[in-house]
Amino acid sequence: MRHNHLYSIVILVALQACSGTPPRGTIERSATIGERAAPMTLERAEGLIQALSALGVDYQYGGRSHATGFDCSGLVAHVYRAAWGIELPHNAAAQAEAGSKVSVAELQAGDLVFYNTLDRPFSHVGIYLGDGGFVHAPKTGAPVRVERMESNYWVRRFDGARRFAIDTRRY
């Protein structure tokens, strides 16, 4: 039952994102994050549905599924495979090398955002949701959750963003 409710919420969020009209009562996003982003597409919305379906799943180092839990790169690899058939390495730094650089102003839903959380570049990865939010598997003892890129913690650790071409012929 919980997943049916979650999917309803995700679909409403995706539809609002496609419409370009922000939901009532939301705080305006930073003028720099996603400022020049293209509108949400149905192809990108599929990735958001996959990513948000993992909310609440426990962090597990090396995890790659809802059943085993997720670590950050495992969550990303799972979402990209399930949503778009894209096979990504199970390593944040390798994922950063494989993608094309994208500026913060051009972020689109489904792009990857990278952070230095272990005193080494590209040691953490999440999936950009839009409006400055991203979903990620943070650490042992914490479930998959949504964070704000504008928070001081994440701003200080931001390493960049990457994009992968999504094959729209699948849709």
- Taken as a whole, the chain contains a residue count of 171
β-strand 112-115 against 64-65: which pairing, if any? unpaired
What type of residue is 124? H
Active site residues: 72, 124, 136
User: What single-letter DSSP state applies at residue 139?
Assistant: S
What type of residue is 75? L
Pure H helices in the chain: 2-19, 42-52, 72-84, 92-98, 152-157
- CA 1 from chain centre, in angstroms, equals 24
